[in-house]
Chain A
């Protein structure tokens, strides 16, 4: 079935470093969403992208809607300890339903 692949699966970085992660799909998406999930909590929406090529920032976070509409990228600049968590990309199927597909997640750990 359709799925979103995220890479890397996990990453350990030093505080202050920049982080890049991406999400790819075999199908076209019209919307890309990036969520962060803290342990035991629900995902929190970080950034929503609605147009191919769109680049959107939210504080230290920047996300891009890939021009092919089959991928998206999330960058975190100057990471801090509270950036720890799992980052998920998500998008609705293009079949006209609102079934969201979530990516496999990128687990981020920040070393102080």
Chain B
């Protein structure tokens, strides 16, 4: 158990809909990261938040957005869903270090499996 929790574990929805995925980081971690993993694919970095502020952006679609709240939990919002958005969505957290430091190991949650029909 990494200490990172994600809800829900499974989500089935229809095209065009909007969903929200939730992540609670490990106790004390300030950084939260979101990743997308399509079938048999590697992990694609979406976005990172550090202590409530967006820190880095990856290949995140404009239909997707995220935020980190004062209690440090994070939500990933996916809207106007398409069939191709079906994937595993992982949240990871890390302690968070000063900008420019080279080490900040990430610990992953169990993921949310999104199925768009």
Specify whether A and B are partners: yes
Q: Which residues of A contact B (CB under 8 A)?
A: 30-31, 33, 35, 40-45, 48, 50, 88, 90, 92, 96-105
Residues of A within 8 A of B99 (CB): 96
> Which among A30, A50, A97, A103 is the interface contact of B42 at CB below 8 angstroms?
A103
In the complex, what distance in Å separates the CA atom of A31 from the CA atom of B58?
A: 19
Residues of A within 8 A of B35 (CB): 102
Residues of B within 8 A of A35 (CB): 108
Q: B31 on the interface (CB 8 Å rule)?
A: yes
In the complex, what distance in Å separates the CA atom of A101 from the CA atom of B42?
A: 9
| Structural contact, B43 and A92, CB atoms closer than 8 A | no
> Which among B2, B43, B48, B108 is the interface contact of A98 at CB below 8 angstroms?
B48
Q: Which residues of B contact A (CB under 8 A)?
A: 2, 4, 31, 33, 35, 42-45, 48, 50, 55-56, 58, 88, 90, 92, 94, 99-100, 102-111, 113
| Structural contact, A45 and B107, CB atoms closer than 8 A | yes
Closest approach, in angstroms, between the C-beta of A102 and any C-beta of chain B?
4
Task: Apart from A50-B103, A98-B55, list 14 A-B contacts with CB within 8 A.
Answer: A31-B103, A35-B108, A40-B111, A41-B110, A42-B90, A45-B106, A45-B107, A90-B43, A92-B102, A92-B104, A97-B48, A97-B55, A104-B42, A105-B42
In the complex, what distance in Å separates the CA atom of A92 from the CA atom of B92?
A: 14
Residues of B within 8 A of A92 (CB): 102, 104
Residues of B within 8 A of A48 (CB): 103, 105
| Structural contact, B90 and A101, CB atoms closer than 8 A | no
Closest approach, in angstroms, between the C-beta of A32 and any C-beta of chain B?
11
In the complex, what distance in Å separates the CA atom of A102 from the CA atom of B106?
A: 12
In the complex, 25 of the A-B residue pairs with CB atoms within 8 angstroms, ordered by the A residue number, are: A30-B102, A30-B103, A31-B102, A33-B106, A40-B88, A41-B111, A42-B92, A42-B109, A42-B110, A42-B111, A44-B108, A50-B103, A88-B42, A92-B102, A96-B100, A97-B48, A97-B56, A98-B31, A98-B48, A98-B50, A98-B55, A99-B48, A101-B45, A102-B35, A102-B45
